[in-house]
Structures are given as structure tokens and as C-alpha cells.
Amino acid sequence: MQNEIQQIVKKLQLLPHPEGGFYRETYRCETVIPQSVLGYDFNAQRNVSTCIYFMLVSGNFSAFHRIKQDEIWHFYRGSALRLYMISLEGKLSKVKIGSDILNGEMPQFVVPAGYWFAAEVIAENSYSLVGCTVAPGFDFADFELGDKVILGELFPNHKEIIEKYCR
């Protein structure tokens, strides 16, 4: 399995992502949306859309983070991952991103803008290779990693999950 993971990381030229896992941006639309159209939520213009490969390996996790736009997840290969989401109202939900549709896994799923979310591979000794597409396009200025203490105070009902999936 480690060999397969290494081969995929190499073939797809993936690099470590600050939220955990590996990624590479595969698409950045050349057309730009001016800040006057985006509004004050965004600090500058953004490309219309971007897309990445994202690979998560068992035993690691994607830490709670949020972005300012909806994020569309697409499952490609490996085994299913579980996404944990905390809505703007503080409601926790979970979804499995995978290809076993008949057992409730979703090959495609949209995480709404502003939700805090984290992810982990469900199976041991495995990996999940997915795609993440956003519009407006991704910019690290719109990306915020969750702080364990602050999130725990904001959402005391979900403290356990927050402590498990923050760094």
C-alpha cells in the first residue's frame, strides 16, 4: 500500500498540504472575477474557479478548516473518507465520500461555504484520492485553519470531535 501511495504521489506530483495530506492544483481558470463583483468577503480579485487533486492517507487527517466558497469533492481512487462538517448554526454532520454508492458513499459532495470541516480515511492502511473544486478560485487568504480552543468554545457540544481533528 505504501508503495502505491508513493507512486501516486510521484505520478501526480502531489505536495504536502497545510491542512494534512497531499495535493496539486490542476486547474486555475484564467478569467478573473473583480473584487467589486465578489464583495467585501474577498480581499481582492479571484480566478473564476480552481481544482486540485487531494490525497489523504490512513492515520493522518485533514484538520478542521473553513473557506469562503462552496467546495465540491469528487472521489477518484482508494477507499472512502469521512467528512465532518459544522454548519454556520453549529450543527455537526458527517458524510462518506467514496464509490460504494449502494452503501451510502457519495462520489460527489458539496461542502457549503463557511462550514468548518475535517476529513479522515475510514479504513486502516489505505488512502483516498479525491478532487476538490471551488468557485471563486482558491486563495490561501480565504482559508482558515481552526484553533482547537476557539472552536471548542464556539461549539461546546462538539468538543470531542474538534479536539480530535485539530492540530
* Minimum CB–partner distance for residue 14 and ligand GUN (Å): 11
Measured from the CB atom, is 4 or 138 closer to ligand GUN?
138
Residue 99: enclosing H or E segment and its boundaries? none
CA distances from 8 to 15, 81, 113, 131 (A): 11, 17, 29, 14
Query: Which of 91, 103, 53, 88 is CA-nearest to residue 73?
Result: 53
Which residue's Cβ has the minimum distance to ligand GUN? 138
How would you list the strands of the sheet with 61-67, edge to edge? 92-97, 81-86, 116-121, 61-67, 143-145
Judged by CB under 6 A, the residue of 71, 105, 120, 142 near ligand GUN is: 71
Residues 6+ apart with CB under 8 A from 64: 84, 86, 116, 117, 118, 145, 146, 151, 162, 165, 166
> Any contact of residue 132 with ligand GUN (CB under 6 A)?
yes
> Any contact of residue 138 with ligand GUN (CB under 6 A)?
yes
* Minimum CB–partner distance for residue 69 and ligand GUN (Å): 8
What x-and-dash track marks residues 25-64 binding ligand GUN by CB under 6 A? x------------------------x-x------------
* Minimum CB–partner distance for residue 34 and ligand GUN (Å): 21
> Any contact of residue 142 with ligand GUN (CB under 6 A)?
no
Query: Which of 146, 143, 161, 160 is CA-nearest to residue 67?
Result: 143
- Contacting range for ligand GUN; rule: CB under 6 A; set: 39-47, 74-82, 109-117, 132-140: 132-140
Interface residues with ligand GUN (CB under 6 A) are 17, 23, 25, 50, 52, 71, 132, 134, 138
